[in-house]
Every structure is written in C-alpha cells, then in structure tokens.
Chain A
C-alpha cells in the first residue's frame, strides 16, 4: 500500500466545480482517496496550481506518425522548444530521445508527462494497421492510451448503410472496435477515402461515393446511429468533408446541423468535430480566403449537442498526416512538398506531407487566428477541446505557447502585430479581448475529455479518480497571466510534479519514473444472432477482397500489455 499526501495544493477541478482552492489531496494505490494514514509520504505543493493529469483527446502519436518520421529524418535534430524537443542522450531512467514534430515513442511519453499530460488518444487507426498502432503504444512510456478506429470509407460500413441494415452495421462497428482494440469511431472526410482509391474526392455531404451509392451524409448518420445503438463511451469523431478548402465552413455547419437529430445514448455530445480550424474557412478561393469562425462559433453557441477541438496552428515546421488522402496529395502539389500516401484496402486512405506555417503568409496567419477565434468566440468552454491536432497544426510540445495565446490578449497582439494588413483584414481576432481563466483552461485540457470520452476517473481529482496529477510551478493569485505570459509559458512547459497512478513520474521537469500506461479499448456487446449474420458477410469480404485472413486481422492480447476493456451493452 503506497500512500501520498499532497499538502497545500491549489486545486482547480472544474468537474467538481473547484476553482483554485487550497486543499490537500490524498492518494492510495494509484487512486484519489478520502484520507491517508500517518505513514503517508508528504509532498508540499506550496500553493501551486494543481490539476488532474492532462488528456489529449486528439493527437497523432502512434501509427501514421511513423511515416512522418521516416520521410523527415531532419526532424530528429530540430530543437525549437528546448527541453521538449531535439536530441537527448539516454540516462539511467530514460531512453534516448529525438525529434520535434515526429519524436520517437519514448520522447512522446516523457514530453507529454513533462507538460502534465497523462492520457492521449491517437485519432486515426485503420483496423488493418491497428496492430502497428498498438506496437507503438507499447513503446510510449507513462501515458494511458486509446485509439480511434477509422470507419468512414469502409466497404462493409457503406454497404450496410446502402442496404439499410442498421443492426448489422452496429454489429460490424462493434467487431471492428474489438478487432482493432479501438475506443471509438473516427470518420475522416466520409466517403472521400474510397473516392481517393480512384484519385478522386467527394465534394460535399450529398456527393455520392463512387460505386457504393451512398453519400457522406448517409455515412455520418448511419455511423452515428450505430454509435449510439452500441452505447459507446465516445460519440462519433468527425473530420468533416472539404477540409482545407476556402468556403468549407458551410459544410461544417451543415454537418453539425445534421446531428441535431441524433439522440445521444449517454451523458455526452452526439458529435465531436475535430480540428475545426481547418474546417472554418470562408471565401471562394485562396484570393478572398478569410475566417469562417464567426459563422461556425455562432452556430455552436446556439447548439448543445456537440463538442469540437481547435487544431491550433503553430508557426514553424509541422507535419500534416491524415486519412484524408486527397487533401495530402493536393497539399504536396500546391506546396511542392514530398508526399507519402497509404491507401488501406477496403478501409480508408491516408497521406503525410511536411509543411511550414509562416506568419508572413497571409493564409497561414489567418489559419492561426481562426483556431483562437473558435476557442474564444465559443462562450461555453465545455464545448471546446484544446488541441493542435499534433503535429498537423504543430507539435504538442507547443501547448504552453498556445496556453499563453488563450490567456493573454497582449500575447496575441504581440504575434498578430507582425501580420500584414491584408491578413488582419481577413480575421476577427484583434477585436476579441477574452482571456481564459485557469478554470476554463482546465476544462479544455482535461475536464471536457473526461465527459467526451465517458472516463469519469480521468480529468478530475474527486475521490475514486485516478491519481494522475499535474502540479505547475506557479501560484495562482501571484501571477497575472495576461501580462506575465512568459512566466506562464515557463510554468506550463515543465511541471513541478506529474503523478501517474499515484507515482511521481516527473519532478522539477525531469523524468523520475517511466511506468507502462494502460490501453483502453471497447468491447460493445451485440446479440448473438445479429453478430453471426454479420460475420457471414464479413467472411466473404475476407475471402474475396482482403489480403490478410480474418484470424490474423484481429489484434492479439500480446499487443496490449496493460489493457482496460470497457464493456458496453447495446440497445437492440
């Protein structure tokens, strides 16, 4: 029995409604408890800001990121954020580290932990390559992990939707989650992955997918219905159609509206729209490109069925990686950049293209503003998840920088004062003076994730929760984040302490311990009869079209050294 008493913690825990109050935290055997014995190890937090461990609900940290590493060996040496990037020799406690946008697996674990993060969700896992994702998970130390299974251009899914077989569809979704050990349903540019199989794309929600006689709208509604039928812990997680195109804000709002009719089976959103920044563009082309954030945020302010994440852009090099194959090819041609692609049989597409965001580019400057506009114009922080879609908008090691953008209007001004007049004319950010509080920041970085993913033991410090805790080296009340943004950034760049399951993993910004994290996956129960009918169709898919046999497709237990199986009962 290991016990710790953290004294004088200035706890900010929105799920309990606690806003920077001095309290003590008791830990026993990895959990927050009511009290501890006199033998407990005592740690004095000295009034420092204490939050539940951060939870990155959308990051590309295992699987496809390897293509990024492979194409960009130069990234290994990049060190723009000292302490959180670049080459670091091994020590007795840590493996060797490299990289910035595409760090090696060990660096990913250590660096997230230094930022006070303890859980991550890999946002794109094609079932056929899920084994690879889990192999990387195994080598990411400290963090708890989950992966979202890509289903938005899947043949079996599209056929069941076309043939109006909602029960079999739900059974297939359940099976795909089990086969890939996934946590939720990811939909990327619905139907676009299949169209990309022929070098084409879909142009919007009602453009039919070639050869499958379904529309993106039908794919979204079909999967949403299956998601709720299975009572999954997360809603569908959607990368909207037309990503990256001027004018796409309309498609985004249309998609959001469509979900008004989806009834969530649990106490959470029925739709999560990811990296909304890339999908909130107005204008008819790149010449008259401008922010669409006012329109999108306006809609979101009046809606209560959805959440989104920001996908904030960071100036400097980034690596885009997405299942949106056509977008990546277009990027590479437009930017004259190298291009990797991986279409996955019967399932989806994907691509990887490195690029660099420059404040001198009017487009990049407006993109930078749109992310912040979305975060600040949407009034209710319980709808907003903090992300950079790492490393698409930029690497997660820049989170402290993004925190200063959100908490200091002065800091924002410092950045946009360097923009051209043309860029400034296409954004509304300079007119926004909102600055987030620690409480709101805690919502966007850990509390909302707990609700979004139905993980009540995460993202809060209530009795019974996981003792995943971040103590930052700043005392609320003694710092004005609005003016002292440099100090703020420093404090968020390396925790005084990070606890993972009650163990000190980071102390004064250095890694202390490197335990193995959990992998969460969902086992959604489906009635026997429906499952076996679905399996018959699936057997045919394997026999006629896949190149891997069904038994070798399922990710084996060996790949999940610390699995947590989340069982749900469907509503059939």
Chain B
C-alpha cells in the first residue's frame, strides 16, 4: 500500500504539509496521520459526500447529465453571449487554475473576484492604506514571546495553528514552547481559544478600532488622553496589555474575521498595521491575517502578479480595472449588473446576501465544483471537478504567503479546475472565431 509522506492538507490557511496518507489498491485513502479533525474530514469526506458524477446542463428546469463536450459547449455559449460575466470563487483551488481563470476573465471581458469579497478583503484595503508588516509562521515559532489572537478562534478554525506555528510550538528562541510565551486573546466572547489564553480581553461588539486607538495612544506615550474605559475594557487592563506588548521581545498579532468584518472593517486592519509600526519603536512586532480557505491567499497573489490587483478585477475595458465597492462580486450582483456567472470552488448560494442571490437566480450560472452545494440549485451548467490537494496537484499559498505544492494523492476520473478552465478558454475562442 503506498504511503505518501509530507502530504499537504488543503483545508485551511495553515496548509499543514506534514500529513501522512495511506492509499489502498482500490485508490482509497485508508489512513491519515497528523491531520486535525477538519483536515481529516476533508480527506475522508471525499468518499462520504455525494460527488457530482457527470457534467450537467439544466433542461426544462432540471439538471440532467450530459457529455463533457455538451456542457463545455453550453458554458462557452453563455460566456460568449454574456455582455458582463462575473467569475467568482477560486479560493479552494490551485494557483494554476486561478491563473487560467484570470486568462478566461481577461479574454471574455469579465469581472473576477474571490471569496475574499466576504472575508479578508478588507485586510487588502488596509494594506493599501498602511502596508502589511508581517513574517512567515516559522518566525513566530522561533521568536514570538507574545502571541495575540484578535477576532479569531484557531481552536476551531485553524486547529493545528497553535501547535505548529504559535502558542504551543517550540522554536530556537522559545525552546519551552507555551511556557515561554504569553498568549492573549481579544474577542467579543470567551471562545475556546480564549480559554487557553494567559489573558483574555473582552471587548464590546464592533469596538475594535477604539481599542486599537487607545493602545496606540498608550504605546506612543499619551495614556493621559485615554478615558477610564474603552471598548468595554477598563483603562487599567489596557495599560497592562500595552506594557506587556512593549516589554515582550517579539509580538505577533494574528487577526481574524472578527476584526476585518466587524464595524469599521478595513479601518481596523489599517489600525492594527499602524499599531504594529508604532510598537516597532519599542520592540519587534508583526501581524498575520488568519486566512480561512486554504488558497484565498493564493488568489490574491496570482491576481496581483497577473493583473496588478488582488481581487474585484473588471476586464470590461480590456485592461484590469479595480474598485472594490464597485467591482466586487456582491456589488455587481446587488446592482444587477452582470448577466451571467461562472462560479468555481465556492458557494455563494450559502454565503451571499439575499439580494445578490435573487439576481444570481435570474441569470445563467456555470458551476465548477467537486461537490453539489446550494449554488448547484442556481446553476445551469455544472462541471464536476477533481478535489485539489487530493486528486489534483498545484500551488497554494499559506496564510503567510509561502507557496507550497499540494500533491496528488489518488487517481481520479474527474478533470481538474485547471483543465476545465483551459478547455473553456479554447471553446470560447472557437466560438468567437466562428462568429
């Protein structure tokens, strides 16, 4: 039985690359070592969840199985007839597929956006305003004596983060691991992560920016302007936290959607970035976003080198145009601006607001995904695809922007996202030549 070592878990932004996978003669994964519960369920989910078996096209209201060729033909027709297509998702797939998706969007004059539109998009805006002072996860492992989790809950969302990269890991300058580090959690409720912290700071809902501003004031020597209580936290506690930050040798702030999606959105990320810059006047400090989907970082990277922009890219003028708030997936759906959609490796059906979904239901939708999900209900053409990281290889970027090559672990009859997108490009060209 082949045993594959150093396999990569393609579930969350931790991209753990130390998984051992055993595959039997029937091409089934029989054993998974080192993965957490989430990762484990992804590997075994492969065989438990209902896969879409064949390409499908909606005929008389029903999705019916068709040949790959027919589905390709239908999808290409939708794309060629559309005046403004939205291409959306592309975060749970390989960089190679993302690259092809961008090419397709360019050739069809589409808008392309990633799931960052509903999670860490605001951190990109914050970086555009103030920059992003970060480090790779191993730097935290080896140096950080203060780890702050802000608006994130790794115990549930990134289960191996703390053991591999942060709180519990051991490194050169933190040989004792957890005993050598302080751990602080800032959140609106006492999460399971907070229960493990040395210090838990509970803040009022949506008051992150107030807290950031108060901390910056104290760190910059203006504690006198800070009122007795900020964001629901007594001043005493703030002073204590600021002192801890200044007196630690290496501080890392891990921030999650609790920060990027709470009130003030990108201004929060902007504030954290300024806080980090100020802290560096006293000690060493960095920040890292806790990205959820395993390759949402990769979409931002590939899109940036290929188009200049990390998301919400509009090719209708032939060159990339970017104006989040105007060209984001939600924006163009809510404004009913697009007349077709290509959705891959994502599920807006489950995550988008009602108004956006109502429009999505009205327009032709092409879906590429290994599994049926609520978006399938809205789809007119469906391409089943290989599960990237298990049935298909390719690059993904960890939350700290380190690229790792995901392995192909088992054989598959399904085409990859990359192949399907490539075929779509060809088909669209063929139809355009014919026209």
Query: Which A residues form the contact surface with B (CB < 8 A)?
Result: 62, 65-67, 69-73, 75-76, 87-90, 95-99, 102-106, 128-129, 131-132, 135-136, 139, 155, 196-199, 211, 329, 332-333, 338-346, 352-353, 544-549, 551-552, 556, 558
Contact = CB atoms under 8 A, between A and B. Distances in A.
B306 A106 contact: yes
Contact of A129 (B107, B131, B142, B403): B403
A198 B133 contact: no
Contact of B284 (A67, A135, A198, A546): A198
A344 B139 contact: yes
B17 A549 contact: yes
For the complex, would chain B's binding face be called helix, strand, loop or mixed by DSSP majority?
A: mixed
Sort A-B residue pairs by CB-CB distance and give the 3 closest, nearest first: A89-B318, A345-B138, A199-B284
A340 B137 contact: no
Contact of B322 (A73, A199, A552): A73
Contacts of A139: 99, 305-306
A181 B202 CA distance: 48
Given A67-B132, A70-B128, A345-B141, 14 more contacts: A70-B127, A96-B307, A96-B318, A128-B136, A135-B403, A197-B143, A199-B285, A211-B173, A332-B277, A343-B139, A547-B137, A548-B404, A549-B6, A549-B18
B20 to A, nearest CB: 11
Contact of A339 (B99, B133, B310, B402): B133
A535 to B, nearest CB: 16
B304 A545 contact: no
Contacts of A546: 138
A556 B285 CA distance: 33
B319 A197 contact: no
Contact of A70 (B6, B164, B283, B300): B300
The range of chain B's interface size is 35 or more
B307 A344 contact: no
A159 to B, nearest CB: 11
24 contacts: A65-B305, A69-B305, A69-B308, A70-B124, A71-B128, A76-B308, A87-B319, A90-B319, A95-B106, A104-B320, A105-B305, A129-B401, A129-B403, A132-B301, A132-B403, A332-B277, A339-B131, A339-B133, A341-B132, A342-B136, A343-B134, A345-B139, A552-B17, A556-B405
B8 interface: yes
Contacts of B405: 131, 552, 556, 558
Contacts of A544: 170-172
B106 A345 contact: no
A98 B142 contact: no
A36 to B, nearest CB: 36
A344 B142 CA distance: 11
Given A102-B308, A104-B308, A132-B301, A343 B318 contact: no
B130 A339 contact: yes
Given A199-B280, A199-B283, A344-B136, A70 B403 contact: no
Contacts of A545: 138, 141-142, 171-172
A346 B404 CA distance: 17
A93 to B, nearest CB: 13
Given A98-B307, A104-B305, A333 B277 contact: yes
Contact of A96 (B134, B172, B315): B315
Interface centre among B17, B172, B250, B307 (most CB of A within 10 A): B307
B336 interface: no
B135 interface: yes
Contact of B137 (A69, A102, A136, A345): A345
Nearest to A107: B308
B414 interface: no
Given A89-B318, A90-B107, A548-B17, A66 B305 contact: yes
B317 interface: yes
A76 to B, nearest CB: 4
B127 A343 contact: no
B401 to A, nearest CB: 7
Contacts of B6: 549, 551-552
Interface in B172-193: 172-173
A90 B306 CA distance: 12
A66 B128 contact: no
